[in-house]
Chains A and B, each alone.
Chain A
Amino acid sequence: MKDKIKSLQEQLQDKIKEVKTLKQLNDLKTEYLGKKGCVTALTANMKDLTLEEKKEIGSLINKFKEDVTVLLEELQSKIEEEELNKKLENEKIDITLPGLEIKSGSPHILEKMIEEVEELMISMGYDVESGPEVEKDLYNFELLNLPKGHPARDAQDTFYITDELLLRSQTSPVQIRTMLANKEKTPIRIICPGKTYRRDDDDATHSHQFTQIEGLLVDKDISLANLKATFEIIAKKLFGENVKARFRSSFYPFTEPSVELDISCFNCGGKGCNICKETGWITVGGAGIVHPNVLNNCGYDSEKWTGFAFGFGAERLAMLKYGIKDVRTFYLNDLRNCDTFNRRENI
């Protein structure tokens, strides 16, 4: 009996070497472990043996059966893996073929610029407001300390619709509307980005339609030093931490004192280059302490309240920040720019 088992074992070793496919393996499995297989046959021969022999031979057969099972299982997984590998190999693809073009839409360059300012100002407690573009002369000029016939109106050659109605030449009327609408006369902190219009012939640096971002703060004891700090934060956010802020005396009818907002040139660091026209400084906006007439016109007693106002041109900011040379770029909407601007930036 022992010899029989031994010879069966030896035969198996030889047969396993022949097995190449799952079919052959299954046949081999049936030959050994099937109902009519040789292992079953061995058990059948045991009934004539003594109890002692039964024990010994029985455990030998069991051991043999286990060995066969393990061997065949190992073989099976080996063959299966080989077959799978062969199948996967047939599935080989060219990974350099282009992926599906999944397109997300891009914001307009100006929207990107405006939102950058809005996000900052909201974090500083400013509300974002808007107002009509067909505006009353009263709000666009008169209440802003620009009575009819004022020569400073020349600087803003305006599109009139009727004697009293115009396309707003600045977003400042939103400030007027906000102050007038505040019946309780509480402090104000707003910015108002929006479209504005002036009689300019369109060329590389002029546009009859453009975008202003204005801010207004009305509170108690507001100073130029406060304005300077606020401007510095905006300048650094937009043009980098190394940028310095500067005031230059200026004139706006609705602020007194009035200043020009300059930043040190972000390109050359102040040494002088073609971007800052060799001066080391770039003017990015205008600002000032709100003129008492404007406060009083809007029901804020100028003896109690002070405030500052500032304004930037969104196109100018974007031209400086992104190196755009021609203001008409913003209104041509060449979609090839989308690939450039549809991404996040680290700031």
Chain B
Amino acid sequence: MINMDWVGEYVDLDGVDLNDLATKITNAGVNVEAVLNKRIDNLVIGLIKEVKNHPDSDHLHVCQVDIGDETLQIVCGASNVREGLKVIVAKVGAILPGDFVIKESTIRGVTSKGMICALFELGLEEKNDLTYSKGICELDDDAQVGMDYNIYAGLNDALYNLDLNPNRAIDCTNHIGFAYEVAAVLNKKVTLPDADYHEIDDSINNHFKLEIGTDKCKYYTAKMATDVVIKESPAFIKRRLESAGMRSINNVVDISNYVMLEYGQPLHFFDKDKVKDKILVRMAKDNEKIITLDSKERTLNKDDIVITDGTKPICIAGVMGGENTEVDENTKTILIESAIFEPYNIRYTSINLDLRSEASVRYERGLNYEYTLKALNRACYLLEKYADAKILKDTVIYDEIEKKDKVATITKEKICKVLGTTITDADIKDAFDRLGFNYEYKDDNYIVTIPNRRLDVAIKEDLIEEVGRLYGYEKIEAKLPVLTDKKGSYSPFIKYYKDISRHLRGLGLNEVRTYTLVSPKEANMFRYDDGELVKLDKPMSLDKSICRRSLIPSLIKVADYNKARDIQDIMIYEISTTYYDTDQEDLKLGILMQGKYVNTTWMNKNINVDFYVIKGILENLLNYLGLNNRYTFSVTDNIPSDMHPYRSAEIIVNGTKLGYFGRVNPKVSKDDNYVLELNLTKLYEIKTGNIKYKELSKYPSSNLDLAFVTKKDTPSKDIMDVIKKACGKLLTNISLFDLYEGENVSEDEKSLAFKLTLSDMDHTLQNDEITNLMNKVIKEVETKTNSKLRK
């Protein structure tokens, strides 16, 4: 949150419409999400002239409150209400947060024309036991009776709520950094705040020594201030901190935060009397402990940077100070630290300790070394002015930081080429001037020195962006690239599975998409593939902790969800990746079918899903893929135990095991679910030929019906295979048209009736040919399959 009243101290905003400015800044790339203020109409500063007890209440008071142009009678229940107090009065008509409208009212028979307010009632403080017990807000004596409280408290200040990209979160989270952006947009100059202060004769060097024992701290500066008076902050500091979402604590602590919100440089104040005569910055030891400002004990390790007094830690560098050197109401002398630490370590520490502070996020993003000393001096200035501090002379500085100018070279031609538009030298110079980037123009080259406050800008492409955004992307005209003609296409595998997907939809199956991450229980269901489960290192919940190996558990969930919504016929499929062994990703097809595959409603000829329906779908698909006659289904040990042991089969194509199908074991799902899982990655590897026209016989074909009685457990396929072999190429089609068990067939037997279609390419088959063939078929089937012709 940026306070524009505050920004106005660094760049002239007189007469600038702040809503317009917000739009301009947004268009230039820093997104102002909202322009807000905390204004509440009809708030005025009043003086309580008289307090009397309410005649009809033991805790209410009847007050006469002078608000300048009139005196209001207000009934107030606060315990701290007293004569002579300056207070905030919400007049009739004021609307307080929560749409609470102030009206003239009668409270137990006494008229009340307004309300004396507590800060939490104005939304300026959180409502809690502490703020509630404070009662109404007591204003300073210098508050002017009759003055608009909004002006007094800065509630009119426009606040910009920024939605920052990570690159600009470095500079635009601070008021001076944002002032430079405003200046670039408005073409104005930035003035840095005052930092001149007096120094007393005593030198900081008489009081302590600095030692840096790690290369993770390249820049460390310090000043000392004595005779500090701890008190409340001046109103402007309080309200600015509050507008930025920080709580006012006391003048000294507030100043460190105030300067951080100005420059982005976090400061740390130590109570010098609690520190001895040494500061040693070093890496922590494993298991070293410190109690931080929030009274919690923290355990450190060797990757955390600590500030010590030579022996024990007194601060976790860049993250949080220690309780043992905290500034409190008795503090007289303070040591001011302004330093730069390695961002990587600060990030590590704050993640490791789960401790994020306004300071730590700034250290993580990186700091501008040019502001380190400026912020230190600014703090001294404010301490002198608002905490009566005396500043000791000299500054302790450890400085190993690399201070190389960032220089990038760019040409007008390159800028025009990348933006795809014509930009003049004047446009480019204007952009650099506005940004405050110094440049030299030599041989068509702009040699640009990038100020350190813009840590996000380093290379020539960054300069193109800076010029482009200030020039205005809306001015770039769309122009299609001129490219060589080329046809676009799906990669062959994507084309393959999209084709399968479309084919399945044609067969009446609906596509679904489910989550990759599943629970350990689901991950171990329908186990078909070998290989280790792929588990997340730090899952958000156990429910979503493992990458699935099978799609079937997810499909059963979808079926259950729909079943619960009274959908009876569920025909779904999903084509998704499954995972095992971290380097093995296979695309699988999962199908689930339940209910009626064909629902003929009033016609009463429904087809219910069963093993043979899903088998039909599978055969249709495999035939479509050109795998006719190259697949078999068998009952094997590989079929997951979550499947029905006697109504499931493994799918084997070209000798490769690719999946399984059948009924889900009732112990897993009580619904009559039929499922299929097929490995498409492996299926794709099986090569198939192209379509070739097959000459058809010109002569009429003959049909032959044969029925055999055989043992119940004889697979029909065995008989069919024998028939096929016996007929050879004369057989153009064979189908099983009847399965019979019951009367006239003994109990352990069944009858299978086949229809054979026979034809020859050269002639019409004659009766004797057919009879001979028939006899051959009967003989072969009877001898090879232990079956008898059914007469």
Answer yes or no: do A and B interact: yes
Q: Which residue numbers of A lie inside 8 Å of B, CB to CB? A: 97-98, 100-101, 103-108, 110-111, 118, 121-130, 132-134, 149, 151-152, 154-155, 159-162, 165, 167, 187, 189, 195, 197, 199, 201, 208-209, 217, 219, 221-226, 228-233, 245-251, 256-259, 289, 291-292, 306, 330-336, 338, 342
**Selected contact of A291 from candidates B28, B461, B582, CB within 8 Å:** B461
User: Across the two chains, which residue of chain A brings its CB closest to B567?
Assistant: A335
Task: Tell me the residues in window 396-415 of chain B with beta carbons closer than 8 Å to chain A beta carbons.
Answer: none
Q: Which residue numbers of B lie inside 8 Å of A, CB to CB? A: 26-31, 165-169, 343-344, 347, 364-365, 417-421, 456, 459, 461-462, 464-465, 468-469, 473-474, 476-481, 483-491, 493-494, 501, 504-517, 534-540, 544, 547, 558, 561-562, 565, 567, 570-573, 576-577, 579, 582-583, 585, 598-603
B residues near A160, Cβ cutoff 8 Å: 536-538
- Known A129-B491, A333-B562: A208·B481 in contact at CB below 8 Å: no
Contact A195 B577, beta carbon cutoff 8 Å: yes
Contact B565 A197, beta carbon cutoff 8 Å: no
Contact B510 A338, beta carbon cutoff 8 Å: yes
- Known A195-B516, A209-B517: A335·B166 in contact at CB below 8 Å: no
- Known A151-B364, A187-B484, A248-B26: A159·B510 in contact at CB below 8 Å: no
- Known A128-B491, A223-B479, A226-B420: A257·B565 in contact at CB below 8 Å: no
Contact B494 A130, beta carbon cutoff 8 Å: yes
A residues near B602, Cβ cutoff 8 Å: 97-98
A-B pairs with lowest CB-CB distance, top 6: A249-B29, A225-B420, A223-B420, A251-B165, A257-B465, A105-B505
13 additional A-B residue pairs with CB within 8 Å, beyond A97-B602, A149-B344, A249-B468: A98-B602, A125-B488, A128-B488, A151-B343, A159-B537, A160-B538, A167-B547, A195-B577, A225-B476, A228-B478, A248-B27, A256-B462, A306-B418
Contact A105 B534, beta carbon cutoff 8 Å: no
Within the assembled complex, what's the spacing in Å between the Cα atoms of A251 and B600? 58
- Known A100-B600, A133-B585, A151-B347: A229·B565 in contact at CB below 8 Å: no
User: Across the two chains, which residue of chain B brings its CB closest to A307?
Assistant: B481
Contact B511 A108, beta carbon cutoff 8 Å: yes
Within the assembled complex, what's the spacing in Å between the Cα atoms of A335 and B344? 49
A residues near B343, Cβ cutoff 8 Å: 149, 151
Contact A333 B561, beta carbon cutoff 8 Å: yes
User: What are 16 pairs between A and B in contact, CB < 8 Å?
Assistant: A105-B508, A130-B491, A130-B494, A149-B344, A195-B577, A209-B516, A223-B421, A247-B473, A248-B31, A248-B473, A249-B29, A250-B29, A257-B461, A289-B464, A335-B510, A335-B570
**Selected contact of A333 from candidates B167, B468, B512, B576, CB within 8 Å:** B512
- Known A104-B508, A106-B505, A107-B505: A331·B485 in contact at CB below 8 Å: no
Contact A335 B516, beta carbon cutoff 8 Å: no
Within the assembled complex, what's the spacing in Å between the Cα atoms of A247 and B517? 35
Contact B509 A105, beta carbon cutoff 8 Å: yes
Within the assembled complex, what's the spacing in Å between the Cα atoms of A258 and B421? 16
Contact A251 B582, beta carbon cutoff 8 Å: no
Contact B582 A124, beta carbon cutoff 8 Å: no
B residues near A122, Cβ cutoff 8 Å: 487-490
Within the assembled complex, what's the spacing in Å between the Cα atoms of A225 and B538? 43
B residues near A258, Cβ cutoff 8 Å: 165, 465
Interface of A is mostly: mixed
**Selected contact of A248 from candidates B29, B484, B488, B577, CB within 8 Å:** B29
The smallest beta-carbon distance between B425 and chain A, in angstroms, is 19
Contact B417 A105, beta carbon cutoff 8 Å: no
Contact A127 B489, beta carbon cutoff 8 Å: yes
Contact A189 B166, beta carbon cutoff 8 Å: no
Contact B488 A189, beta carbon cutoff 8 Å: yes
User: Across the two chains, which residue of chain B brings its CB closest to A338?
Assistant: B510
Within the assembled complex, what's the spacing in Å between the Cα atoms of A181 and B440? 41
User: Across the two chains, which residue of chain A brings its CB closest to B571?
Assistant: A105
**Selected contact of B166 from candidates A155, A217, A223, CB within 8 Å:** A155
B residues near A128, Cβ cutoff 8 Å: 488-491, 494
Contact A189 B536, beta carbon cutoff 8 Å: no
**Selected contact of A257 from candidates B464, B493, B494, CB within 8 Å:** B464
A residues near B571, Cβ cutoff 8 Å: 103, 105
B residues near A195, Cβ cutoff 8 Å: 516, 576-577
> Which of A128, A245, A249 is most buried by chain B, counting CB atoms within 10 A of its CB?
A249
User: Across the two chains, which residue of chain B brings its CB closest to A229?
Assistant: B478
Contact A161 B505, beta carbon cutoff 8 Å: no
The smallest beta-carbon distance between B374 and chain A, in angstroms, is 24
- Known A134-B582, A209-B516, A259-B473: A223·B417 in contact at CB below 8 Å: yes
A residues near B476, Cβ cutoff 8 Å: 224-225, 228, 247
Within the assembled complex, what's the spacing in Å between the Cα atoms of A228 and B418? 12
The smallest beta-carbon distance between B358 and chain A, in angstroms, is 15
Within the assembled complex, what's the spacing in Å between the Cα atoms of A223 and B415? 10
Contact B534 A134, beta carbon cutoff 8 Å: yes
Within the assembled complex, what's the spacing in Å between the Cα atoms of A162 and B478? 44
Within the assembled complex, what's the spacing in Å between the Cα atoms of A201 and B544? 11
User: Across the two chains, which residue of chain A brings its CB closest to B544?
Assistant: A208
- Known A127-B488, A130-B491, A257-B465: A105·B507 in contact at CB below 8 Å: yes
Within the assembled complex, what's the spacing in Å between the Cα atoms of A225 and B477? 6
> Which of B511, B562, B567 is most buried by chain A, counting CB atoms within 10 A of its CB?
B511
Within the assembled complex, what's the spacing in Å between the Cα atoms of A201 and B539? 11
**Selected contact of A126 from candidates B168, B465, B488, CB within 8 Å:** B488
The smallest beta-carbon distance between B566 and chain A, in angstroms, is 10
Contact A247 B474, beta carbon cutoff 8 Å: yes
The smallest beta-carbon distance between A253 and chain B, in angstroms, is 8
Contact B514 A331, beta carbon cutoff 8 Å: yes
User: Across the two chains, which residue of chain B brings its CB closest to A308?
Assistant: B481
> Which of B508, B513, B539 is most buried by chain A, counting CB atoms within 10 A of its CB?
B513
Within the assembled complex, what's the spacing in Å between the Cα atoms of A225 and B516? 38
Contact A107 B27, beta carbon cutoff 8 Å: no
Contact A219 B481, beta carbon cutoff 8 Å: yes
Contact A219 B537, beta carbon cutoff 8 Å: no
B residues near A256, Cβ cutoff 8 Å: 459, 461-462, 464-465
Contact A162 B537, beta carbon cutoff 8 Å: yes
The smallest beta-carbon distance between A124 and chain B, in angstroms, is 7
Within the assembled complex, what's the spacing in Å between the Cα atoms of A289 and B473? 13
The smallest beta-carbon distance between A231 and chain B, in angstroms, is 8
A residues near B561, Cβ cutoff 8 Å: 332-334
**Selected contact of B511 from candidates A105, A124, A162, A223, CB within 8 Å:** A105
**Selected contact of A289 from candidates B166, B461, B537, B583, CB within 8 Å:** B461
User: Across the two chains, which residue of chain A brings its CB closest to B458?
Assistant: A256
Within the assembled complex, what's the spacing in Å between the Cα atoms of A331 and B518? 13
Contact B517 A208, beta carbon cutoff 8 Å: yes
User: Across the two chains, which residue of chain B brings its CB closest to A247?
Assistant: B473
- Known A225-B420, A257-B465: A199·B540 in contact at CB below 8 Å: yes
A residues near B474, Cβ cutoff 8 Å: 246-247
Within the assembled complex, what's the spacing in Å between the Cα atoms of A209 and B544? 11
Contact A111 B501, beta carbon cutoff 8 Å: yes
Within the assembled complex, what's the spacing in Å between the Cα atoms of A307 and B166? 23
Contact B490 A101, beta carbon cutoff 8 Å: no
A residues near B511, Cβ cutoff 8 Å: 105-108, 111
A residues near B29, Cβ cutoff 8 Å: 248-250
Within the assembled complex, what's the spacing in Å between the Cα atoms of A2 and B552? 96
Contact A124 B488, beta carbon cutoff 8 Å: yes
Contact A331 B513, beta carbon cutoff 8 Å: yes
Contact B513 A108, beta carbon cutoff 8 Å: yes
User: Across the two chains, which residue of chain B brings its CB closest to A219?
Assistant: B483
The smallest beta-carbon distance between B460 and chain A, in angstroms, is 8
A residues near B344, Cβ cutoff 8 Å: 149
Within the assembled complex, what's the spacing in Å between the Cα atoms of A58 and B513? 91
**Selected contact of A334 from candidates B168, B469, B481, B565, CB within 8 Å:** B565
- Known A125-B488, A249-B28, A257-B468: A223·B537 in contact at CB below 8 Å: no
User: Across the two chains, which residue of chain B brings its CB closest to A149?
Assistant: B344
A residues near B585, Cβ cutoff 8 Å: 132-134
